[in-house]
Structure 1
Amino acid sequence: MLLKSEIEDAFHLQQSKLNNKAVAAIKRTGAEKIDLDNTSIQVISGVRRCGKSTLMQQLMKAYKHVAFLNFEDPRIFNFSVNDFPKLDEVIPKETKAYFFDEIQNVPEWERYVRQLHDDGKKVFVTGSNASMLSKELGTRLTGRYLNTELFPFSYNEYLRFKKEKATVKSFENYLLKGGFPEFLTSENSEILQNLLKDIVYRDIAVRYGIRNSKTLVDITLYLISNIGKETSYNSLKKTFDIGSANSVSDYLNWLEDSYLLFFVQKFSWSAKSRQVNPKKVYTIDNGLARSNSLSFTSDFGRLLENLVFLHLRRSGKTVYYFRERRECDFVVFEQNKCTAAIQVCYELNRDNKDRELDGLTEALTFFKMKKGIIVTLNQSDQFKIGDKEIVCVPAYLFFNDPVN
Structure 2
Amino acid sequence: MLTDRTLEEIILDQQEVFIAKDTGVKRSIEYDRYMRHDQIVTISGVRRCGKSTLLRQFATHYDSYYYMNFDDERLIDFTAADFSRLMILFQKIAKDSRTIFIDEIQNIPGWERFIRRIHDEGYKIYLTGSNARLLSSELGTHLTGRYAKIELYPFSFPELLTFCGIDAVPLTSKTKAEILRAFDRYLEEGGFPEFLKFSDPEYLKRTYDDIIYRDIVSRFGIREVKAFQQLVQFVFSNAGKEASYNSLAKAVGIKSPMSVRSYIGYLEEAYLVFELYRYDASLKRQYAGQKKLYVIDNGMRNTIAFRFSQDTGRLLENLVFIELRRRGAEIFFFKESGECDFIIRDRDHTTEVLQISYELNAIDRDREIAGLSQAMAAHGLSHGTILTYNQEEEITTPDGMKVHVMPVWRWLIEGLGDRPDNSSM
Give the TM-score normalised by structure 1: 0.97
TM-superposed deviation, 1:169: 2.2
What does 1:60-139 align with in structure 2 at a 5 Å threshold? 60-92=59-91, 93-139=95-141
Q: Distance in 2 between matches of 1:323 and 1:165?
A: 39
- Do residues 392 (structure 1) and 391 (structure 2) align? no
Given residue 80 of structure 2, which amino acid in structure 1 is its aligned partner? V
Identical counterparts, % of pairs: 41
Answer whether contact 1:34 1:148 (CA < 8 A) is retained: no
Contact residue 189 and residue 299 of structure 2 kept, 8 A: yes
After the TM superposition, which of the residue ranges 162-171 and 96-105 deviates more from structure 2?
Answer: 162-171
Please state how far the C-alpha of 1:6 moved relative to its aligned partner: 2.3
Whether the aligned pair in 2 keeps the contact of 1:6 and 1:76 (CA below 8 Å) is no
- 1:336 to partner: Cα distance: 3.2
Q: Deviations over 1:248-289 (max 9, x none)?
A: 111000001100011100000100001011110111111010
The yes-or-no answer on 1:14 pairing with 2:14 is yes
1:71-220 matched pairs, under 5 angstroms: 71-92=70-91, 93-166=95-168, 167-220=179-232
**Structure 2 alignment gaps of length 5 or more:** 169-178, 420-425
What's the CA shift for 1:243? Answer: 3.1
Report the secondary structure of 1:168's partner residue.
helix
Residue 212 of structure 1, CA deviation = 2.2
Q: In the alignment, is the contact (CA less than 8 A) between 1:289 and 1:296 conserved in 2?
A: no
Mapped partners of 1:250, 1:305: distance in 2: 25
1:251 and 1:33, CA in 2 relative to 1: closer, same or farther beyond 3 A? farther
- Partners of 2:247 and 2:391 in 1: how far apart? 37
Aligned to 1:222: 234
User: CA separation of 1:296/1:118 partners in 2, compared to 1, >3 Å: closer, same or farther?
Assistant: farther
Read off the aligned partner of 2:105 and give its amino acid letter: I
Q: State the partner residue of 1:330.
A: 342
Of the three residues 333, 338, 362, the one matched with 1:321 is: 333
SS of aligned partner of 1:78: coil
1:172 and 1:345 map into 2 onto residues whose CA distance is: 16
CA distance in 1, matches of 2:353, 2:156: 21
Runs of 4+ in 1 over 3 A off after TM superposition: 31-34
The answer as to 2:383 corresponding to 1:363 is: no
Deviation at 1:239, TM superposition (A): 2.1
- TM-score, with length taken from structure 2: 0.92
The reply to whether residue 298 of structure 1 matches residue 310 of structure 2 is yes
In the alignment, structure 1 segments of 5+ residues that lack a partner are none
Report the more deviating stretch, 156-165 or 268-277. 156-165
Q: What one-letter code is carried by the residue in structure 2 that aligns with 1:382?
A: E
Aligned to 1:49: 48
- The amino acid of 2:79's aligned partner reads S
Counterparts of 1:168 and 1:278, CA distance in 2: 35
**CA distance, structure 1, for counterparts of residue 6 and residue 40 of structure 2:** 27
Instruction: Name the count of aligned residue pairs.
Output: 403
Contact 1:371 1:389 in 2 (8 A): yes
Preserved CA contact (<8 Å) 2:340 2:372: yes
Secondary structure in 2 aligned to 1:387?
coil
